[in-house]
């Protein structure tokens, strides 16, 4: 520490001390995982079961039924034949190119991750919109979640839960939840003050005000948040495959390590197709939710 | 409190700023004015010792220019704004004492509101908007919508039930706003510059709609406006607000013929008195020497003039519906009333009859 050249070389702590600090933190966390790891793993058991159930359902159903259901969803969300055609065409391509199984696994993970992000994110966003102090506390956390390289928080998650589906889902949710929280908060804050005043003047309870006015009027923004969350979850499939999540990420990873160019492109294309389908689906649904704007 | 009094406001103060409670004594006990409070103490005086009684079944107009505190005042009546001090009794209950739950009940069942910029729910249809108050009350959807349809018809919007507010013109949107407020069956209607955002023709039209409904419903209406013609047309009583204080309250003839100060005199100087004032405000109860056909007490002075075509110097008997002849009126009183008042000498011109007519 007492280096005479401290004006030239940054007076960093020496390696031994740094190692000691790192070791102390690692040991402390390792102790935590040894003590609570099993309990935490048990707590995530329902999530694992849900994950497995969705995956089995998608893999077990005949391919034409899966395509029919998703095409039906596309029709219900958009009423546009072109979107239905896109959905059917994309899935036929994926199936013909032999990527059906991996695609279903990825879809199962995206579905579960989105469900978790939405069920946790919307209430957090609602609470944030009601308190500036809470918002002040949550926003920096969201900033860290979005900018921290995802490999970094894979380490503690894997130390705690090992390799597999649950740590994969957690890593994806941590990465993908900020948009739905931010846009729920924004959407509710943007609801017209005069409309809210009128709602109060008619004696609406806080609950009636939230579900009858604030959330419906914030829905376009909330839907945009869900859309972003799905896109971010999809972008995590390769990273998640590194900790053992099966799906389209694994062949991509294999393609990178073995320099299989065509295989990488094909699987990457399948991810892109999924992204386009989910994006168009959620956006059309969001537009249909606010068709009152088009009545003029 | 008189039995007919519906809303009694007493000693109401509203001060905006970081510490209203500390600023209150300055205004209440030391009589500091709005300007000084703002410049020296950093607080805005919203309402300054308002006391006012609204009678059951009246249209009580509160008139003032922007910044006079009229919108602040009406928001105290359903506690959208909390006062710094004072009480508001509605049917004998101080609404400042209401718990949040009781306040919601009051807003759902007792007082409904119409807003200057409509404030409709954009994601609900016309039907959904009109039924909203009932839905909040807990009325079942089918019942609420059936009743809402009735009100939509009453305000002349049949056929628009399934349209969204953005598809309607301003006047139609405010009909929705009016129907929404009427649908809850509350006995008090709070109207915050309800027609100010509308075109003049539509505004007159809506005033007519309101008067027709009021003739039948006899609700207690507090009506905020900055438009004197509107105030005179709708108001049973008018309160004039300036800088958060009531500077005059009275009936239409009282305000027109006896303005309390130069500010109000300036307000009323350009109105057409012959059309606003009625015979009852200028007549005398002495009927000696009255000849010719009787003039109804409700006739405007403009119309009454025709009764003097043949005999300008004579007096005409005045009749009131159900009471027969109640007095007489002559051209000199009518002409005096129509003349613009001279502010300094205004008291000299006020006849005892005009006072009595209040």
Are A33 and A52 in a shared domain? no
Q: Average pLDDT for residues A91-119, to the nearest whole number?
A: 93
Considering CB atoms only, which of A200, A205, A296 is closest to B167? A296
pLDDT tens for residues A267-289? Answer: 999 999 999 999 899 888 888 87
Residue A203 to residue B115, Cβ atoms within 8 A: no
Integer Rg of chain A from CA: 23
CA B237, CA B103: separation in Å to the nearest integer? 27
Residue B108 to residue A201, Cβ atoms within 8 A: no
Residue B122 to residue A293, Cβ atoms within 8 A: yes
C-alpha to C-alpha distances, A169 to A32, A58, A234, B315, nearest whole angstrom? 21, 17, 12, 96
Confidence band of B342 (pLDDT split at 50, 70, 90): low
CATH class of B273-357: alpha beta
Confidence band of B307 (pLDDT split at 50, 70, 90): confident
Given a cut of 90, whether residue A115 has pLDDT beyond it is yes
Q: In Å, how far from its chain's centre is CA B331?
A: 31
H or E stretch at A232: helix A215-235
Are A30 and A170 in a shared domain? no
Which residues of B fall within a CB distance of 8 Å from A200? 80, 107
CA A268, CA B129: separation in Å to the nearest integer? 49
Q: Does domain B55-80+97-268 have CATH number 3.40.50.300?
A: yes
Q: Which residue has the higher pLDDT, B1 or A185?
A: A185
Are A78 and A218 in a shared domain? yes
Are A22 and A167 in a shared domain? no
pLDDT at B350: 42
Query: Does the beta carbon of A190 lie under 8 angstroms from any beta carbon of chain B?
Result: no
Q: Average pLDDT for residues B40-53, to the nearest whole number?
A: 91
Residue B80 to residue A195, Cβ atoms within 8 A: no
Confidence band of A295 (pLDDT split at 50, 70, 90): low
Given a cut of 80, whether residue B343 has pLDDT beyond it is no
Q: Hey, what are A240's tokens? A: 């998640």
Burial per residue of B147-178, b for 16 or more beta-carbon CB atoms within 10 angstroms, e otherwise? bbbebbebbebeebbebbbebbebbbbbbbbb
Residue A65 sits in a domain whose CATH number is 1.10.3720.10
Are A136 and A77 in a shared domain? yes
Instruction: Please tell me the total count of domains within chain A.
Output: 2
Residue span of the structural domain in which A261 resides: 47-294
Q: What percent of chain A has pLDDT over 70?
A: 97
What is the residue extent of each domain of chain B?
Answer: 55-80+97-268, 273-357
Are A275 and A222 in a shared domain? yes
Q: Quick check: is A1 in a domain? A: no
Given a cut of 80, whether residue B3 has pLDDT beyond it is no
Q: What is the ipTM of this complex?
A: 0.82
- Inter-residue contact B226 to B193 (CB < 8 Å): yes
Are A205 and A118 in a shared domain? yes
Are A227 and A116 in a shared domain? yes
Given a cut of 60, whether residue B2 has pLDDT beyond it is no
Asked if B55-80+97-268 and B273-357 have one fold, the answer is no
Q: Which residue has the higher pLDDT, A285 or B179?
A: B179
Quote the minimal CA–CA distance from B172 to chain A in Å: 13
Q: Quick check: is A186 in a domain? A: yes
Q: Average pLDDT for residues A251-255, to the nearest whole number?
A: 91
Q: Quick check: is A154 in a domain? A: yes
CA A253, CA A263: separation in Å to the nearest integer? 10
Q: What percent of chain A has pLDDT over 90?
A: 64
Helices A215-235 & A165-189 angle (0-180, nearest 10): 150
Helices (runs of H) and strands (runs of E) counted in chain B: 16, 13
CA B50, CA B326: separation in Å to the nearest integer? 37
Q: Quick check: is A4 in a domain? A: no
Q: Which of B135, B149, B151 is nearest to B183 (CA)?
A: B151
Residue B80 to residue A197, Cβ atoms within 8 A: yes
Residue A202 to residue B78, Cβ atoms within 8 A: no
Q: Quick check: is A8 in a domain? A: no
pLDDT tens for residues B245-284? Answer: 999 999 888 888 888 888 888 888 888 888 888 888 888 8
Query: Does the beta carbon of A206 lie under 8 angstroms from any beta carbon of chain B?
Result: no
Residue A194 to residue B115, Cβ atoms within 8 A: yes
The CA angle A112-A283-A296, to the nearest 5 degrees, is 145
Which residues of A fall within a CB distance of 8 Å from B166? 292-293, 295-296
Q: Hey, what are B180's tokens? A: 């929404």
Q: Which residue of B has its CA nearest to A200?
A: B80
Are A151 and A265 in a shared domain? yes
Are A159 and A34 in a shared domain? no
Q: Average pLDDT for residues A179-186, to the nearest whole number?
A: 96
Q: Average pLDDT for residues A144-171, to the nearest whole number?
A: 85
Q: Quick check: is A123 in a domain? A: yes
Q: Quick check: is A196 in a domain? A: yes
Are A85 and A54 in a shared domain? yes
Are A21 and A88 in a shared domain? no
pLDDT at B65: 87
pLDDT at B346: 43
Lowest mean pLDDT among A260-274, B143-157, B296-310: B296-310
Which residues of B fall within a CB distance of 8 Å from A192? 119, 122
Residue B80 to residue A296, Cβ atoms within 8 A: no
pLDDT at B239: 94
Quote the minimal CA–CA distance from B125 to chain A in Å: 8
Confidence band of B288 (pLDDT split at 50, 70, 90): confident
């Amino acid at each position: 520490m007492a280096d005479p050249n401290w004006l030239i070389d940054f007076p960093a702590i020496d390696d031994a001390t740094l190692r000691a600090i790192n070791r102390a933190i690692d040991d402390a966390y390792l102790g935590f995982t040894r003590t609570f790891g099993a309990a935490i793993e048990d707590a995530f058991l329902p999530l694992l079961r849900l994950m497995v159930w969705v995956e089995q359902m998608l893999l077990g159903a005949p391919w034409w039924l899966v395509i029919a259901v998703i095409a039906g969803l596309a029709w219900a969300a958009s009423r546009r034949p072109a979107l239905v055609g896109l959905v059917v065409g994309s899935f036929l391509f994926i199936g013909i190119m032999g990527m059906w199984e991996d695609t279903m696994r990825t879809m199962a993970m995206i579905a579960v991750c989105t469900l978790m992000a939405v069920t946790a994110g919307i209430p957090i966003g609602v609470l944030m919109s009601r308190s500036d102090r809470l918002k002040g506390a949550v926003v920096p956390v969201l900033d860290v979640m979005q900018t921290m390289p995802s490999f970094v928080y894979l380490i503690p998650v894997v130390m705690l839960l090992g390799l597999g589906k649950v740590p994969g889902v957690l890593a994806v949710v941590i990465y993908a939840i900020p948009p739905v929280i931010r846009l729920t908060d924004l959407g509710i804050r943007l609801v017209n003050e005069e409309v809210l005043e009128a709602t109060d003047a008619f004696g609406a309870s806080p609950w009636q005000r939230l579900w009858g006015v604030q959330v419906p009027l914030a829905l376009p923004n909330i839907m945009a948040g869900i859309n972003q969350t799905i896109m971010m979850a999809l972008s995590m499939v390769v990273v998640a495959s590194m900790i053992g999540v099966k799906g389209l990420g694994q062949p991509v990873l294999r393609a990178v390590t073995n320099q299989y160019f065509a295989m990488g492109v094909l699987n990457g294309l399948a991810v892109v197709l999924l992204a386009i389908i989910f994006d168009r689906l959620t956006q059309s649904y969001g537009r249909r939710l606010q068709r009152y704007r088009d009545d003029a | 409190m008189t039995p007919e009094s519906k809303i009694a406001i007493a000693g109401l103060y509203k001060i905006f700023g970081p510490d209203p409670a500390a600023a209150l004594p300055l205004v209440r006990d030391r009589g500091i004015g709005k300007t000084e409070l703002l410049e020296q103490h950093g607080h805005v005086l919203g309402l300054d010792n308002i006391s006012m009684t609204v009678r059951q079944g009246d249209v009580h107009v509160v008139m003032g220019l922007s910044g006079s505190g009229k919108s602040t005042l009406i928001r105290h009546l359903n506690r959208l704004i909390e006062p710094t001090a004072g009480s508001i009794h509605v049917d004998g209950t101080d609404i400042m004492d209401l718990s949040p739950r009781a306040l919601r009940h009051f807003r759902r069942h007792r007082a409904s509101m119409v807003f200057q910029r409509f404030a409709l729910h954009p994601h609900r249809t016309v039907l959904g908007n009109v039924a909203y108050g009932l839905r909040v009350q807990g009325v079942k959807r089918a019942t609420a919508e059936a009743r809402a349809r009735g009100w939509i018809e009453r305000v002349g919007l049949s056929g628009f039930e399934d349209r969204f507010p953005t598809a309607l013109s301003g006047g139609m949107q405010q009909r929705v706003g009016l129907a929404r407020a009427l649908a809850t069956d509350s006995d008090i209607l709070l109207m915050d510059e309800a027609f100010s955002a509308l075109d003049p023709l539509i505004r007159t039209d809506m005033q007519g709609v309101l008067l027709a409904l009021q003739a039948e419903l006899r609700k207690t209406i507090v009506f905020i406006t900055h438009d004197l013609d509107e105030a005179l047309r709708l108001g049973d009583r008018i309160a004039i607000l300036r800088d958060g204080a009531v500077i005059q309250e009275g009936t239409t003839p009282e305000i027109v013929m006896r303005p309390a100060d130069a500010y109000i005199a300036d307000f009323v100087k350009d109105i057409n008195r012959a059309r606003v004032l009625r015979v009852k405000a200028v007549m005398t109860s002495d009927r000696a020497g009255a000849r010719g056909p009787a003039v109804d007490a409700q006739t405007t002075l403009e119309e009454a003039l025709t009764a003097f075509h043949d005999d300008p110097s004579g007096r005409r008997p005045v009749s009131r519906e159900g009471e027969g002849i109640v007095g007489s009126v002559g051209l000199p009183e009518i002409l005096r009333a129509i003349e613009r008042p001279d502010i300094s000498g205004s008291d000299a011109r006020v006849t005892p009859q005009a006072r009595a007519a209040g």
